[in-house]
Amino acid sequence: MLNCLKKTFPWLLLLVTICGFSLFRIISYGDPGTSIGTVDTSEFISSAQVDLDCHFLEAGRPPTLPLLYKLLHPVTGYDLTAVSMPSAADGLKELQWQPDFSPVVRFQMILSILAWSSLAVVLFYRLRTLVGKFTVALFILAFAYSPQLAEWDRILLSESVSFSLFAFLLALTIELAFRCSEVGYSSNLSLYLVGISWFIVFVLWVFARDANAYLIPVTVIMLFIIFMPGFPRRRKLPIVIGLGLLLSACFYLQQMTMRASQRWVLPFLTNISVNVLPYPDRVDLFRSMGMPVSDELMHLQSSMGGEAGFYKLDDFMDWTEKNGTKVYTRFLMEYPLWATSKLYNDLELLFSENLQPWFSGPKDSHPSDLIRIGDMLHPKTSGVILLDVFFTIIIMFIAFRSRDADSLTWLWITMWLFIGEMVLLFISYHGDARSTIRHTLVATMPLRLSIWLLAILVFDMINYHIGSKPR
């Protein structure tokens, strides 16, 4: 009886902690049904009106959020009455009651609570010391429910859904990796169920934002190159090969539908205007790859926000639709030093903000003290990358020194996470010269999260290996 109590008490305490944090999240941010739209919200609404066939994937916006809008579509249709434009004079608006969008933002909040609670539970289960278990749960929930992340739930953009699906994806990746590495794991059914759930969440996350898709090549390479230790080959190969092939097919589908959708064209035009036309050598390179160069085109250099002029150049737009993505990818490959140094020089800018910019919020929209706490949990410095590298190296040292299956599995997870974050940072930064801080949140948010996750993991691994009892 005492033994049973010792085993169940930590889980009861975790349940109380999660319920307490969830209740705090629901009641501390004002009316959870209020929302704010942006200039992009109408495009998500338009995409949601496309029939659920192959053309739905080719709509003006990636399909995951439009699918949510379609499922929650009001009988009378969406009436967007509050649109915030922070870059315009008097364009910043406060949260407003928009009854058509109330189910959407409430769903975004519920999805966030479920996702981050799931991550906390998986980490609690997989860490090996009691202190590590509770510390990671507290930090994960505090990170997720600080205004820097929680306020995105009431903005009618894809960030909230993308963040929540990432938390689910990370939780399922950890669980799948450990189930695969456990020698003699008896339940094939539960292993395959976790694998199927992981794939479904991965697909939904990939189709939430186009840049997310570039985690797939990293994942496929990691699946085939870094086999997890101690896993019987006869059982490992079906999982690795099956998931690798499914993800590869998903990446191909995403790339084909994105190109057919034309939603990449505007970011491409912005990149041409800002990163190509002002530089004669780059203009010559693009001319050699077939780009029609004219005086009218050259007048559009550095015209961020004035991309409409490109659409008047028929020859140029015809070339763009046929060759744009291929040519710009080749440009980045032929100018790797420039691409890397430009990102490096802007790192501090990309980490300089951590709050959403679309509403300042009334006094009851968030606890003011949480802003200061959130600034500590979401640091506004690119030094987080160095900390992530530092902790990853320590985990690598511990894993190779101990050679136990759990430590090596954690090494696989941390390497997948860090390499993926850096690839997403590079792709999202170079994908569009506009709104780079918001676009790179797909990487900067996980990089900030990784500081706390990896630091606590290092503590847990060291504590365990110097004599802490296993769970």
For position 363, what pLDDT does the model report?
A: 59
Residue 6: is its pLDDT beyond 60?
A: yes
Determine the average pLDDT of the residues in 248-270. 92
Q: How many residues does the chain have?
A: 471
The confidence band for 236, taking pLDDT boundaries of 50, 70 and 90, is: low
For position 134, what pLDDT does the model report?
A: 95
Contacts of 51 (CB under 8 A, 6+ apart): none
For position 191, what pLDDT does the model report?
A: 82
For position 224, what pLDDT does the model report?
A: 76
Residue 467 CB neighbours (<10 A): 6
Determine the average pLDDT of the residues in 372-395. 96
Is the pLDDT higher at 281 or at 306? 281
Report the chain's mean pLDDT, rounded to a whole number: 89
Query: Which tokens is 288 given?
Result: 């050699």
| Dihedral (CA of 52, 57, 60, 66) sign | positive
168: left (phi over 0), alpha (psi -120 to 50) or beta: alpha
CA distance 38 to 155: 8
For position 404, what pLDDT does the model report?
A: 85
Residue 156: is its pLDDT beyond 80?
A: yes
The confidence band for 371, taking pLDDT boundaries of 50, 70 and 90, is: confident
Closest by Cα among 392, 404, 382, 377 to 457:
392
Residue 468: is its pLDDT beyond 80?
A: no
Closest by Cα among 445, 415, 466 to 209:
445
For position 471, what pLDDT does the model report?
A: 45
Residue 24: is its pLDDT beyond 90?
A: yes
Residue 4: is its pLDDT beyond 80?
A: no
Determine the average pLDDT of the residues in 347-374. 83
Residue 40: is its pLDDT beyond 60?
A: yes
Query: Buried b / exposed e across 287-315, counting CB within 10 Å, b at 16+?
Result: eeeebbeeeebeebeebeeebeebeebee
Distances (CA, A) of 11 to 8, 16, 23, 179, 224: 5, 9, 18, 20, 35
Query: What whole-number percentage of the chain has pLDDT above 70?
Result: 92
What DSSP line would sit under 198-211, residue for residue? Answer: HHHHHHHHHTTSGG
Is the pLDDT higher at 49 or at 370? 49
Is the pLDDT higher at 226 or at 454? 454
Determine the average pLDDT of the residues in 438-460. 96
* pLDDT tens for each residue of 293-334: 998 899 888 776 677 889 999 999 999 998 888 899 889 988
Determine the average pLDDT of the residues in 273-288. 91
For position 466, what pLDDT does the model report?
A: 76
For position 190, what pLDDT does the model report?
A: 82
For position 395, what pLDDT does the model report?
A: 96
For position 361, what pLDDT does the model report?
A: 63
What DSSP line would sit under 327-342, residue for residue? Answer: HHHHHHHH-HHHHHHH
Residue 3: is its pLDDT beyond 50?
A: yes
Task: Say which range, 87-91, 232-236, 328-332, 428-432, has the weakest mean pLDDT.
Answer: 232-236
Query: What whole-number percentage of the chain has pLDDT above 90?
Result: 68
* pLDDT tens for each residue of 50-100: 998 888 999 989 999 999 999 999 988 999 999 999 877 778 888 999 999
